[in-house]
Amino acid sequence: MKKEQLKKGLPPRYTGKCRNLTKEEKEKLKKEGRKPVIRFKLPENEKIVWEDLVKGVLEFDSSNIGGDFVIVRSNGIPVYNFVVVIDDHLMNITHVIRGEDHISNTPKQILLYKAFNWDIPKFAHLPIILGKDKSKLSKRHGSTSVEEFRSKGYLPESLINFLALLGWYPNEKLYKEISQKKEHPEIFTKEELIELFDLKDVNPAPAIFDTTKLDFINEFFIRKLDLDTLYKHLKEFVKVREDFDIKEIGDTLVIKIKDKEFKTDKKTFYKAIDLTRNYYKTLEDVFVYLKELLTDKFEIDKKALEFIKTNPESIKVIEKFFEKVKLEQVLNKDTFKKIVKSIQKELKVKGKKLYMPIRIALTGKLQGLELDTLIEFLGKERVINRLKNFFLEGEKND
RNA sequence: GACCCCGUCGUCUAGCCCGGCCUAGGACACCGCCCUUUCACGGCGGUAACGCGGGUUCAAAUCCCGCCGGGGUCGCCA
């Protein structure tokens, strides 16, 4: 039957074959062992109209919604369209807010409300979210669950902020008042969103799910949060990650990164975070940068190695630096500057050729936080440790 | 195919209802410059859009019609 309809270019729909069976006919079919379904008898030529809170006035014709639809299956279990109406009514639902893929269900549901003589709730059909290929967002487009974003190190407030902006923008008048005071025009706290949000301002057009802006929002929140709050987020974050952990044992913190553990105290931990937070995109990055500050053992990046090989005078710079560091009582930004200047004079190198070797010797990398800040944080003893390690590593590589 | 929804920068959008203030505004991304003897941060600046065609009008992104394009729904699934 269905195939025939499709062939003729007609939409598959119930033909009304058993719409008006007599008692005798029903009995006969029952005896044959046929189990009946219960269908909703559609009114003829009735317009079903509602004002959708997002899409505006929507109108369907009863002759155009697929024929008498099933409300109870032959096994006696009722179907969704029938059940939601009863359920929502019983729960005193006033607003039905859902994806626009439900638009075509709505006329059926409205008819049921009418048949029951129940109040019809307000409907709001939100546009669906599209993947990069503009089709309905699904698993094959990558992460789609909140859990995945959590475990990637996105803060809950970042996701909320991002999602709110996907298909919604604050009402101009309301927004203008507060926008003056805002640090950033599109960063919203939960409270602001609650204050500003209105279904009326939802854009009826579907939006593509592109997380570029989410990265920005997350960076922003991570930078602005106070350290205690950030710490709380980190504690939550490690719960969903096998490779990271933060244990508090008395005053010491044991930080697990991959299969290594580092001991430190909260004060140092906070200091380290504060120095590196401008580099974070996600909470995951916290650990990446922390590792650099918490241990003096490191490997030298390929590119860093390359730099040293192509700039042989680098070794001289590092040796000189080592010598001079040993002579200093304490290492801070000032003494660092002094040392660098004297190396510059004595070896006649400057710029990248002067700073890079030192950076590589201390971190094994070509980029990172500012050298003077790093050195002040490490202190003399650890700087010496690192330099020694560098020369040991160097021997291995030779 | 039928029915329905949608169509402003690469992306998220403001403006559209109530035509002139739109030479189309903002944000992210991108590019450039400045700051920094690296990178990032920060500051400044730049590239970039009304799907197309007809009307209506002195005037259209805004109103009307058609087309095109994209998406959704067509189950005894939810």
By C1' distance from the Cα of A79, the closest nucleotide is: B76
- End-to-end alpha-carbon separation of chain A, Å? 79
Q: Is the CB of A224 under 7 A from strand B?
A: no
User: E strands, A127-249, where?
Assistant: 129-130, 207-208, 244-249
Is 90 exceeded by the pLDDT of residue A110? yes
Chain B bases closer than 7 A to any CB of the protein: 1-8, 10-15, 26-29, 36-41, 70-78
Q: Is there a contact between A360 and A309 (Cβ–Cβ < 8 Å)?
A: no
Per-residue model confidence (pLDDT) at position A259:
84
Cβ-count burial of A158 within 10 angstroms (0-12 exposed, 13-18 middle, 19+ buried)? buried
Q: How confident is the model at residue A15 (pLDDT cuts 50, 70, 90)?
A: low
Cα A6 to chain center, whole Å?
42
- Indicate if the pLDDT at residue A2 is higher than 70: no
Quote the CA–CA distance of A130 and A296 in Å, as a whole number.
47
What number of other Cβ atoms are within 10 A of residue A339's Cβ? 20
For the record, the structure tokens of A269 come out as: 């931990």
A315 touches strand B (CB under 7 A): no
Integer distance in angstroms from CA A336 to C1' B67? 71
Q: How far apart are CA A1 and CA A12, in angstroms?
A: 8
- From the alpha carbon of A84, which nucleotide's C1' atom is closest? B78
Spanning CA of A120 to C1' of B64, the rounded length in angstroms is 33
pLDDT surpassing 80 at residue A180: no
Which of residues 136 to 195 on A have a Cβ less than 7 angstroms from any strand B atom? 136, 165-169, 171-172, 184-186
pLDDT at A396: 61
What Å value separates CA A167 and C1' B53? 30
Tokens standing for residue A354: 């002067």
Residues 251-310 of A with CB under 7 A from strand B: 278-279
- Single out the residue of A369, A213, A212, A356 nearest to residue A280, CA to CA: A369
User: Is strand B within 7 Å of residue A33 (CB)?
Assistant: no
Q: Which two tokens stand for residue A74?
A: 């032959």
**A355 CB contact with strand B at below 7 Å:** yes
Contact A371, A336 (CB under 8 A): yes
pLDDT at A10: 47
Predicted interface score ipTM higher than 0.90: yes
User: Each residue of A53-108: pLDDT tens digit?
Assistant: 999 999 999 988 888 999 999 899 999 999 999 999 999 999 999 999 999 999 99
Among protein residues, the one whose C-alpha sits closest to the C1' atom of B42 is A278
- More confident site: A391 or A223: A223
**Is A386 buried (19+), middle (13-18) or exposed (0-12) by CB count in 10 A?**
buried
Beta-strand pair A244-249/A252-257 = antiparallel
Residue for token digits 């974070």? A280
Is A211 within 7 A of strand B by CB distance? no
A179 CA, B44 C1': Å apart: 22
Instruction: For residue A66, give the nucleotide whose C1' atom is nearest its CA.
Output: B74
- Collapse the DSSP code of A78 into the 3-class scheme (helix H, G, I; strand E, B; otherwise coil) and give the result: strand
